[in-house]
Amino acid sequence: MPKAKKVKVWLKLISPEFLGKKELGEIPVNEPEAAIGRRITLSAIDVLNDFNKYYLKFYFKVGKVDNQNAYLYFDGLECTRDYIARMIRRRVDRTDLVCDLETKDGIKLRIKTITVTRRVPSSIRTKIRKKVLEILSEEIKKYTMEEFILKTLSDDFKNSIALTIKKIYPVRNFEFRKIEVKTPLEVLLKKEKEKQELKAKTQ
């Protein structure tokens, strides 16, 4: 007698609390627990409901599930290749920075930025890279991971960095090209549990 096929379960994708804790779609799974650890890619338009962020992709991992929902944990964001390509036109230079930094709540992020200027000597690019690293190293210590991600989505923050770099050389564009969470999901879940326990004790 042939085995009966397992009926797939559809789980609703629920965004992290700092991004609104709202439904972002559904995924099919054989068992709810099988979804844990799955990486999900979504457009910023769906996540933020902001068409001005059309060029951004968000990455999440499923951290918890119940019979109906899959709860997402932020895993990173990235600009689309087309968006970056449009920034890099003829007769310009790009200065890339890649750095691993830690937020106030101890979460490790790999941050990749791009600064676009007219053609400049390598010495100028070195100064720009050093200044961006200096700014990010100071800023990230002030914020939790969630707060810092929201800050990077702010045009005000990016504009303030660009204005600072302009003291070295005029800037055409500055952008957070990619941000990756390097802290493992299990550690994020543990940190969240500790945070909830501490909150319960103080109530």
pLDDT tens by residue, 84-136: 999 988 889 999 999 999 999 999 999 999 999 999 999 999 999 999 999 99
Residue 3 pLDDT class (50, 70, 90 cuts): low
Give the 3-state secondary structure of residue 90: coil
| Domain count within the chain | 2
Per DSSP (E only), the strands in the chain are 9-14, 23-29, 39-43, 56-65, 69-79, 92-102, 108-118, 173-181
Same domain, yes or no: 90 and 151 = yes
pLDDT tens digits for range 8-50: 889 999 999 999 999 999 999 989 899 999 999 999 999 999 9
pLDDT tens digits for range 185-198: 999 999 888 888 87
Cα separation, 199 vs 127, in Å, equals 43
Same domain, yes or no: 120 and 41 = no
Residue 2 pLDDT class (50, 70, 90 cuts): low
What is the average pLDDT value for the chain, to the nearest integer?
93
pLDDT recorded at residue 4: 56
pLDDT surpasses 90 at 170 = yes
pLDDT recorded at residue 201: 78
Is 193 part of a structural domain of the chain? Answer: no
Burial group, residue 27, by CB count within 10 angstroms (0-12, 13-18, 19+): middle
pLDDT recorded at residue 5: 64
Q: How many residues does the chain have?
A: 203
Same domain, yes or no: 102 and 47 = no
C-alpha torsion 87→92→93→96, nearest 10: -10
Cα separation, 191 vs 43, in Å, equals 27
Same domain, yes or no: 152 and 85 = yes
CA angle 51, 25, 108 (to 5 degrees): 75
pLDDT recorded at residue 107: 96
Same domain, yes or no: 91 and 146 = yes
Instruction: For the chain, give the percent of residues with pLDDT over 90.
Output: 83
Same domain, yes or no: 68 and 91 = no
Same domain, yes or no: 59 and 88 = no
Residue after which a domain boundary falls, among 22, 47, 79: 79
Residue after which a domain boundary falls, among 36, 54, 79: 79
Same domain, yes or no: 55 and 85 = no
146 or 203, greater pLDDT = 146
Is 68 part of a structural domain of the chain? Answer: yes
Task: Report the predicted TM-score, pTM, of the whole model to 2 decimal places.
Answer: 0.91
Report the CATH number that the domain containing residue 150 is assigned in CATH: 3.30.479.30
pLDDT surpasses 80 at 202 = no
Same domain, yes or no: 166 and 129 = yes
Domain that residue 96 falls in: 81-181
pLDDT recorded at residue 91: 87
Is 197 part of a structural domain of the chain? Answer: no
